[in-house]
Structure 1
């Protein structure tokens, strides 16, 4: 009798376990289905909004030519901000996007950056050398306007530096590292630092650097732009969508840039390919939405050098024997 009761109890327990396992499997399948639906909906939402904003940006670029000359620069700056906003939207969405959509949207962003730069070059071409019969006063007026533009640009950059989300300033002879969580998708500024090693292992949105002397700055992939000004005797190990460098001398660049590097009022700069490696670097490239396979480190545009058939004396490619590797 006891044996029969034990067998019955055993069968009952086994049936209960099977029922629990069956319900758990059903719940698992339901959750997977919901996750798949959520991913599909998220992908659909991204593609629809990304494509709509892309179309709006392309339309705005086409219409820039119809605006008065004095409004064109402002409109181009506004379009650049929209492209940066689209870049952030892309970076925020990469975690659930299929790899194909990530690659396609990265290519689209690269094309948009190229198109707006081409539009700027078309509307505001570099001045070429030519004999002119204009009076000296006209040239003076032009020079004055150019100086005003540079002054305003410098003021705007100073303001961007001051308003950044994360800041490292007035450090000397220190090794400073900003945490990934603190700066991810945020604006970072480094200014008035000397003889420092500064490490930014993460994926910030934008990085501004000003008044750095004898510093080594190492960054992970930056979603949009890096702006450098008034720096001397520094080494920059940086990756970004766009690099703009002003009033900087005797600096080395280990660079990954997906558009092109722009320098102005600079001298004695050396460029080499990005040579940084650390454990989460590939993840940060994805987070930043930066194309790791596209690097134009050697395509440097010097705004102070007008001769297209002669290399600018203000920068050169670093010889291979001088190049360093940065591993952490």
Structure 2
């Protein structure tokens, strides 16, 4: 655990402190020259920094987590003070020529306001299903363009989000049993906890799996996946039949439960093409259909050799 937290904490600290320092400097500079657009940009960038910290929750040492949270709160306070100290005239609209109509006077009165936020970003949740085929139609996507997605507490399910009509920025998965997940390429990180006898198909920038066993991972990734307290894992590249022709495969797996020069006994590589699974791309209506498909796909319950 010490090695894991140290490695991730060091990488996160560099990214966080760089963004925090730049944002602090911009807040200080804005005290002498603040505009509506400038204040909006600062607010949005601070929200993004807070989101990055929230995404890293559980993967940072407790002390470091608290320190980062205090830094974010301090920035929020500075930005709030800045917003309150600016004269309203800096935010007023240009006045038109004086008019005599009381209605026109009311309409021309300056109304301090901030521009609308960027296109909708949301946090989606998929949780507590048993023996179900789940597609993106089960998610309340509405008009969101990007989203984090949390998947939890699934048992004997097939999740097919390959055609989800929005961009996923991060995935968080926890407590999944006998479940197949067909997921698209995402821009950010995939964090997995407590998976048992599952299949995960995904593309991402960062992959971290904890306390899981008997899982087949078909992965496209630009860095090395990290595992900890895991066993009987098998890694392969993202299946070509699901659009993975040009995507890089797994280069090497870092096992923080096996910090030794010898090969880790907790994972191995395997060739997807030698297995040729029939991926469940069509919706299955009944529990029996889901159970039959899972039986043909899931890893064997016997230890992986």
When normalised by structure 1's length, the TM-score is 0.46
Which of the pair is proportionally richer in strand?
2
- Which structure dedicates a bigger proportion of its chain to helix? 1
What TM-score do you get using the length of structure 2 for normalisation?
Answer: 0.49
